[in-house]
Amino acid sequence: MKNGKVPTLEQKKIMKAHGLNPDSWLVVKNLPDSLTIVSRMSLKKVGSKPKQRTISKEL
């Protein structure tokens, strides 16, 4: 997995529309139709896979 990036303003709006707190998530992939994000809290846990979600950019 590549390093997650801090979401941009547009990405934060998409996350809020899906009911997610943008401060708790990092962007891994930014595709034209979807956004793959990973939880910051799951990255801190040792020995387990990080929690990933794929959300669509369409509202």
Domain boundaries, the chain: 1-42+51-55
How far, in Å, CA of 24 to CA of 21, rounded? 6
59 residue type, one letter: L
Contact 38, 4 (CB under 8 A): yes
Give the other-Cβ count within 10 Å of 23's Cβ. Answer: 10
Residue 30 has a pLDDT of 94
Residue 42 has a pLDDT of 87
Residue 1 has a pLDDT of 59
* pLDDT tens, residue order, the chain (59 aa): 578 999 999 999 999 999 999 999 999 999 999 999 999 998 888 888 888 999 999 87
pTM score, whole prediction: 0.86
